[in-house]
Chain A
Amino acid sequence: MVARDSGMLDRGRILGDLALQLGDEELFLGHRDSEWLGLAPEIEEDVAFASMAQDEVRHAAFWYELAETAGMGQADALAFDRPATDRRHAALCARPNGDWAHTVLRHYLYDAWDAVRLMALAEAGEETVAQGARRMLREEHYHHLHMEKWVVDLGRAGGEAGQRLLKAFQALLPDLPHLAAFAVDPQALVDLGILARPLPDLRREFVARISPTLAKAGLPVHPVEAALAAQPEDRARSVAPLADAEELLSTMNGVRSLGAAAW
């Protein structure tokens, strides 16, 4: 209740902070996706995956531009120049790439949560956010179909693929409570009319959304429910581990760090 009764109901700032969170997540995951360029298991998948990476970066640009409008700084500076300690992303988005099973399962889980979150943003009354969210949902629909197919296919194939998928599931599980959360007080988002439903409702929608897919892929849903229940994250969540973001940012700033210049 801290946010509601301490004079912090600064709508613009909360909106700006939310935009930075969503921007950081989309940018970091888009960055990890782009590391797969030229390396996907089949040429056709390379093209499809590259397309999704671009969507993520374009979504990031939308959120950073929104933060710019909220007076938080210039969009590129927000995207590139903020240190790891100031980032608001979910830990899962910055994790280094694993094998293809880890990549598609991470993406599937992120997209599923993102869709739930975007629907709750689209249904609320904040028009700029809702418009962006609606547009992203149209694209995320295809990401979701694509990633869902991969997860189910790898699970159904069994053998080495099934084992790799299970290993990826176990590795990703501890990051899910941090993903299904917000870097700002989620109740304040609801009170301000930015988010249509409270976090516990969104988490239930998330579990309902992924359950049939996990079942088809032969993965259990119970550990997800247990992990989420153990970490309710009902306040603004903590900063993600710094090492992953620091490594990612040092690559991302490989050109920009050469000096102040127009690029």
Chain B
Amino acid sequence: MPDARMEEFMARIERGDKIEAHDWMPEDYRLLLLRLIHMHAVSEIMGAYPEKEWVPKAPTLRRKMSLAAKVQDEIGHGQLLLRVAEDLAAPLGRHRVDLMDDVITGRVKFHNVFHMEAPTWADAGIIGWLVDGAAIITQTALLDCSYAPYARVLKRICAEESFHMQHGESIILSLAEGEPWQREMLQEALNRWWEAILFFFGPPVVTDAARRMMEYRIRSRTNEELRQKFLTRYVPRIRAVGLEIPDSALRYDDEAGLWRYTEPDWERLSRMVRDNTGPKSQERISLRRRAHQDQAWVREALLRARAAAAV
């Protein structure tokens, strides 16, 4: 027997209505959204680590301020997204502390790019320029998401990400116009990041979850469409600063209207995200553990102080 609430819900989605946190929604919709937004939130927070180590080492006062502001934004995005995820998780009996514990237990995954090493200052630039540039593409594609609280938060996130991209570009341009050894450092960073950035958009196959998210109008573009958009936007820019893209197969196929490229090692990189076995996965999870578990005493103290003040 068809569920009337479900039919009404799908009719709303198809009309282009937006769903609010207090509206009825099918369990499947809630779980798909929660998984997406939880991973997005955690990725923003884990994304702070590759760059945060460069804040104390940033080479000028201006760079230090702008990189600190950028890392702060990323953590702030994590906070905004966690609030959205918390509303979705509450009816399931799960709360902020559980969502954060999931990082440490490996129950929630984070984007592949944040499992990677960032061994030089040029990596800090590449992350801002290309990783944030890629994130703008995936996130703007979600701006029309059927879940209104997520769409609202994304609007602010996308605006800030475009500053991050410009901040990264500014670092890149200084290095590209700098000494030969600075250019070399930059090229090496690009070589290190290229495959991971292509992987960032996800495999070209449309999974069952992705198909359902499209039906619910949570997302509307496929991974491959987004990757193509990234290549169209960034390949000319990367070449314009005199860098070489480390893929001899990369070319634009005029006939098909598509970029052809060497495929990332989907299997190896997927395993890295799934099992947290990237070069920096465990180190970064242990930083999160330090922040969250080792300082549980601070959060407990705040609760006691609040209780004492209420007496």
> A residues touching B (Cβ–Cβ < 8 Å)?
27, 31, 34-35, 37-44, 46-47, 50-51, 53-54, 57-58, 60-61, 64, 75-76, 79-80, 100, 152-154, 156-161, 164, 251-256, 258-259, 261-263
Contacts and interface: CB of A to CB of B under 8 A. Distances in A.
A263 B65 contact: no
Given A41-B291, A46-B75, A154-B305, A259 B59 contact: no
B205 interface: no
A116 B121 CA distance: 38
A50 B75 contact: yes
Considering residues A76, A79, A253, which has the most beta carbons from chain B within 10 angstroms of its beta carbon? A76
Interface string B43-78: 001001100101111111111110011011001101
B82 A37 contact: no
Contacts of B300: 157, 160-161
Given A255-B59, A256-B59, A261-B178, A37 B71 contact: yes
Nearest to A27: B61
* 10 smallest beta-carbon distances between A and B, as pairs: A161-B301, A157-B301, A50-B72, A254-B57, A41-B295, A41-B298, A153-B305, A263-B59, A157-B304, A37-B52
Contact of B65 (A41, A57, A159): A57
Contact of A43 (B68, B82, B304): B82
Nearest to B121: A255
A53 B295 contact: no
A43 B49 CA distance: 13
Contact of B79 (A44, A152, A160): A44
B72 A51 contact: yes
B262 interface: no
Classify the secondary structure of A's interface with B.
helix
A252 B57 contact: yes
Contacts of B174: 262-263
B68 A54 contact: yes
A41 B121 CA distance: 27
Contacts of A154: 298, 301, 305
Interface in B271-300: 287-288, 290-291, 295, 297-300
Interface of B: 45, 48-49, 52, 54-65, 68-69, 71-72, 75-76, 78-79, 82, 100, 121, 174, 177-179, 181-182, 287-288, 290-291, 295, 297-302, 304-306, 308-309
Classify the secondary structure of B's interface with A.
helix
A47 B57 contact: no
Given A41-B298, A156-B308, 4 more contacts: A43-B78, A47-B75, A50-B71, A61-B61
28 contacts: A31-B56, A38-B48, A38-B52, A38-B291, A39-B291, A40-B295, A41-B295, A41-B299, A46-B75, A50-B72, A54-B68, A57-B64, A57-B65, A76-B61, A156-B308, A157-B301, A157-B308, A159-B301, A159-B304, A160-B297, A161-B297, A254-B56, A255-B54, A256-B59, A259-B179, A259-B181, A262-B178, A263-B63
B290 A42 contact: no
Given A42-B299, A157-B304, A262-B178, A47 B72 contact: yes
Contacts of B181: 258-259
Contacts of A262: 174, 177-178
A29 to B, nearest CB: 12
B179 A261 contact: yes
B173 to A, nearest CB: 10
B65 A157 contact: no
Contacts of B301: 153-154, 157, 159-161
A38 B287 contact: yes
Contact of B55 (A37, A80, A100): A37
B68 A50 contact: yes
Contacts of A164: 297
B241 to A, nearest CB: 15
